[in-house]
Amino acid sequence: MTNSSYSFKVIVIGDGAVGKTSLIKRFVHDTFNKEYINTLGSEITKYSEIVEDVNVNLIFWDLAGQSGFSRIRENFFKGSNAAIVVFSHEETDLGEQSFRNMLKWLQDVYEHCGRIPLILFGNKVDLVDENELTDNKDLPQSDRNLNKLAKDMGFLAYFKTSALTGSGVQHAFKTLIKELYFNQRRLEEHKVT
């Protein structure tokens, strides 16, 4: 029996079409479909899991790429407990731009939310040769360079994901959930009663 519950708001950000909506769908429903309506404004998805007898409730906030309206953005960022920053590994302009824009998204988080736990997802790994990412150290998107960059930029961790195949998705989301749970538990333990 569970006797307490924690709730966290988790925002999922990154350029349009990097796979944010698909990643949430893959993690929460274990599905991937190409026929769905574009996210308008922002959309929320709920997820619950029991961790060590505690009911952990997550609300994922998914922002549509074209949401330039400041009122939508304010509401989106407000009260966030963590952020997942997503870029795409695909070797196209979209992919390269999404990698460069990571900084811009980070800036937005710091501006609106201050210091909250951050996690970095490099999505669509199914479209690239994973051996290249492991072996080619000169590549900016190589595992080694991204692990270092993630650390330098204050991310908890960096994960390679594919919403299409599901590769890495569970592990990446679960890492964030564990972090949020243990942080909260630590806070509760030190609370003066």
Residues lying near ligand G3D in the complex (CB under 6 A) are found at 16-22, 34, 39, 65, 123-124, 126-127, 162-164
- Of residues 5-64, those binding Mg ion (CB under 5 A): 20-21, 39
Across-strand partners of 54? 4, 51
- Report in angstroms how near the CB of residue 64 gets to Mg ion at its nearest: 6
Question: Which of the choices Mg ion, ligand G3D, none does residue 141 contact, using the CB cut-off of 5 to 8 A by kind?
Answer: none
Q: Give the number of other Cβ atoms within 10 Å of residue 131's Cβ.
A: 8
Smallest gap from residue 142 Cβ to ligand G3D (A): 19
Residue 5 CB burial class (10 angstroms; 0-12, 13-18, ≥19): exposed
Q: Which residue is nearest to ligand G3D (CB)?
A: 19
Residue 67 lies near Mg ion (rule: CB under 5 A): no
Contact between 162 and Mg ion by CB under 5 A: the answer reads: no
Question: Is 88 one of the binding residues for Mg ion (CB under 5 A)?
Answer: no
Taking the complex as a whole, how short is the minimal distance between the CB of residue 130 and ligand G3D, in angstroms? 13
**Burial letters for 178-191: b for 16+ Cβ neighbours within 10 Å, e otherwise?**
eebbeebeeeeeee
What φ, ψ does residue 2 adopt, rounded to 5°?
-95, 145
**Encoded amino acid at 78, one letter:** K
Complex with Mg ion: residue 20 or 26, whichever CB lies closer:
20
In terms of C-beta density within 10 A (0-12 exposed, 13-18 middle, 19 or more buried), how is residue 12 classed? buried
């944010």: which residue's tokens? 20
Residue 44: φ, ψ to 5°: -115, 150
98 interacts with, out of ligand G3D, Mg ion, none, CB within 5 to 8 A per kind: none
SS3 of residue 15 by DSSP: coil
Q: Could you tell me the smallest distance in angstroms from the CB atom of residue 155 to ligand G3D?
A: 18
Q: Give which of Mg ion, ligand G3D, none residue 179 binds (C-beta under 5 to 8 Å, depending on kind).
A: none
Q: How far is the CB of 43 from ligand G3D (least distance, A)?
A: 9
Residues that bind Mg ion (CB under 5 A): 20-21, 39
